[in-house]
Structure 1
Amino acid sequence: MELGISMFGDLRVDSATNKFQSTQQRLTELIEEIKLMDEVGIDYFGIGEHHRPDYAVPSPEIVLAAAAAVTKNIKLGSAVSVLSSADPVKLYQNFAMVDLMSNGRAELMAGRGSFVESFPLFGYNLHDYDALFAEKLDLLLTINKNERVTWHGKFRAPLNDQTILPRALNNELSIWIAAGGTPQSVVRAGKLGLPLMIAIIGGSPAQFQPLFELYKKTYIESGHDPAGYRVGIHSHALFGEDNAALTKRYYPLYAAQMDRVGRSRGWPPYQRTQFDFGTSKHGALFIGEPAAMVDKILYMKELFGLTRFAAHMDVGAPSHLDIMKSIEIYGTKIAPLVRAA
């Protein structure tokens, strides 16, 4: 099982001024954090795409290109790229370049977009939410398999024997599908034989087990090689040596960010009871001390048959020092025990 980290580039809020930290500062911190991930042996890093004032990264591939220059082994991917509002040709070209710059370590994780600010920004209609993703995924996969492409669709100008360059290092980019828990997304990934990442950020993870069973069943029945089967989860996480001290520092930041997101989605205010259940053995939050986190990660692997676990580490913008400590603990204290098990 690969052990990874994902982030969105959350921007800290100054309690005195109520202003977000500068994007420049957060981007500088991000590169330092990714460099440390590589040094302590984390397998994978993913960065998300957002077009909001509380996040620093609208273009994951630019962060990944910068990270490629300061890392040697870690896989570098998006988490996610909002494919529905992107141009698949340009997206493939950008990630092919990251792949070449990183000596084959790039991945593209495509999602429909749980945040929808990119749709009006780039001139797309939310009524076409599902159709946009289906069509653009078809084009992206066609480009990934073919250097010369002839293609026709509804939402983009056709391609007539066009050459798409540059090509990924081995002429094929690793492309994942990200899902928030809808059976349709799971079935699509299984039919296409694409690796699947499911976000589990609340409630009881055990409730998601039918989705993993559906994905594996669809994958096998669609005739795909079981040796290529890859499935993972993305869950909110932060690691520390003292659970009480970590929770005291982190809960207010975490709750504030959940409320910022929730206000645009009609969620009720985030409650301490949700956090406490989430950090318990049966909850979806991986926030705590190393021994408990090892047990929880191994439980998820057994429950879902995971080939990848991604700890999403910057919700609410904990301090750079806390994130660096969390990465260090993950790489030196958690990952070795999970791998040994």
Structure 2
Amino acid sequence: MTVEFGLDTFGDVTAGSDGALLSDAQTIRNVVEQAVVADEVGLAFFGVGEHHRAEFAVSSPEIVLAAAAARTSRIHLGTAVTVLSSDDPVRVYERFATLDAVSNGRAEVILGRGSFIESFPLFGFDLADYEQLFEERLELFGRLRDERPVTWEGRTRAALRDADVFPKTENGFRAWVGVGGSPESVVRAAQHRYALMLAIIGGSAARFRPFVDLYHRSLAAVGSERLPVGVHSPGHIADTDEEAMEQAYPAIEINRNAIGRERGWPPYSRAQFQHDVGPEGAMYVGSPETVARKLAATVRVLDLDRFDLKYSNGTLSHERMLRSIELYGTQVVPRVRELLAESAG
């Protein structure tokens, strides 16, 4: 079984050694450093999310990724996700074609509607158009991927008449759709022939198997070849289970409660955390062996092509994230490959 292993970050604003929050600027510089370490330990992908709120420093992922491209050589660089609904598909395509050039063919894009809505009023979009904005922009972006003049018309942006888009790429770039778990979104990704990235942030991975099967059936129905399926889930790795949990919980609690106050969630608790890191939870927290075993089980049950660990968790420090990245690349990934080989044999 061939599977890629990557990392995702939202550029969470982190705490320094004195406990105070770092500046947005320092957080962004640290993200670039994290990408460099990810490249050094041989990981396949580094994704940076787009947000427009105080907890996250990155609102322009492509600029951060371009900085990372200049300091890395092998790792693929992309978003996690680009909020296509509140952006323009032509500009998104131009930015990623440019990133593909400066990275020597290492650009990827994961497109999504986003789980936060701050970008809609910020850029003048009506939330009443939430579904139509994404559907139209996804269809147009798919047309732009052909890198030929496009004629297109929709309700949510100006029509195009034989419009060409530059720069041209040398070999195109991979495009995914990030899906939170609705069947309609899975079918949409297949109909437009995008790779599928499942964001599993709650519950067991096994319950997403029907979505994987639906995706493959939907691809076959439109006459498409098999396309990759990936998973994005949160986690943290340290030398021991106890160390990983004690490092991760306070940072995750701060982040969850800040967002939960807006969304009406109950306060996050140790009991909930213990469930989330357990066999039926969506977090991959623990020692390299613990994380590798859970990760291998996820790859097997979903027949994955890629797994992206969302390694930034609230205020978790830069130093601890660097250690987590190092352990992921040097110990977890090789161990997962061993476990997959054993089960295949």
Could you tell me the TM-score, scaled by structure 1's length? 0.95
Instruction: Please give the per-residue CA displacement for 1:104-127, whole angstroms capped at 9, x wherever unaligned.
Output: 110111001111100000000001
Asked whether the 8 Å contact 2:241–2:290 carries over to 1, the reply is no
2:246 to 241, 248, 259: 248
1:282 to 261, 280, 283: 280
2:292 to 291, 294, 297: 294
Q: Distance in 1 between matches of 2:273 and 2:259?
A: 16
Q: Distance in 2 between matches of 1:324 and 1:118?
A: 30
How far apart are 1:230 and its partner, in Å?
Answer: 0.4
Aligned to 1:192: 192
1:8 to 4, 7, 10: 10
Asked whether the 8 Å contact 2:240–2:286 carries over to 1, the reply is yes
The residue identity in structure 2 corresponding to 1:189 is A
Which aligned pairs between 1:95-134 and structure 2 lie closer than 5 A? 95-134=96-135
How far apart are 1:249 and its partner, in Å?
Answer: 2.4
Q: Distance in 2 between matches of 1:31 and 1:152?
A: 38
The residue identity in structure 2 corresponding to 1:21 is L
Q: Distance in 2 between matches of 1:43 and 1:294?
A: 17
Asked whether the 8 Å contact 1:20–1:54 carries over to 2, the reply is no
Aligned to 2:177: 177
Aligned to 1:338: 336
Which aligned pairs between 1:57-76 and structure 2 lie closer than 5 A? 57-76=58-77
Q: Distance in 2 between matches of 1:255 and 1:134?
A: 34
How far apart are 1:13 and its partner, in Å?
Answer: 5.1
Unaligned runs of 5+ in 2: none
Aligned to 1:78: 79
The residue identity in structure 1 corresponding to 2:13 is L
Asked whether the 8 Å contact 1:239–1:290 carries over to 2, the reply is yes
Aligned to 1:165: 166
- The answer to whether 1:148 aligns with 2:149 is yes
Aligned to 1:265: 263
Which aligned pairs between 1:214-225 and structure 2 lie closer than 5 A? 214-225=214-225
Aligned to 2:56: 55
How far apart are 1:168 and its partner, in Å?
Answer: 2.1
Instruction: Please give the per-residue CA displacement for 1:46-79, whole angstroms capped at 9, x wherever unaligned.
Output: 1100000110111111111111100111010100
Q: Give the secondary structure class of the aligned counterpart of 2:105.
A: coil
How far apart are 1:206 and its partner, in Å?
Answer: 2.0
- Residue 223 to residue 258, structure 1, CA distance change in 2 (3 Å): same
Q: Percent identity?
A: 44
Asked whether the 8 Å contact 1:96–1:169 carries over to 2, the reply is no
Q: Distance in 2 between matches of 1:147 and 1:51?
A: 33
Q: Distance in 2 between matches of 1:159 and 1:222?
A: 25
The residue identity in structure 1 corresponding to 2:8 is S
Q: Distance in 2 between matches of 1:62 and 1:263?
A: 31
The residue identity in structure 1 corresponding to 2:115 is S
The residue identity in structure 2 corresponding to 1:6 is D
CA RMSD in angstroms, aligned pairs only: 1.5
Q: Distance in 2 between matches of 1:48 and 1:318?
A: 17
Q: Give the secondary structure class of the aligned counterpart of 2:213.
A: helix
Moved more, 122-131 or 190-199: 190-199
Asked whether the 8 Å contact 1:119–1:125 carries over to 2, the reply is yes
Task: Name the count of aligned residue pairs.
Answer: 337
Q: Give the secondary structure class of the aligned counterpart of 1:201.
A: coil
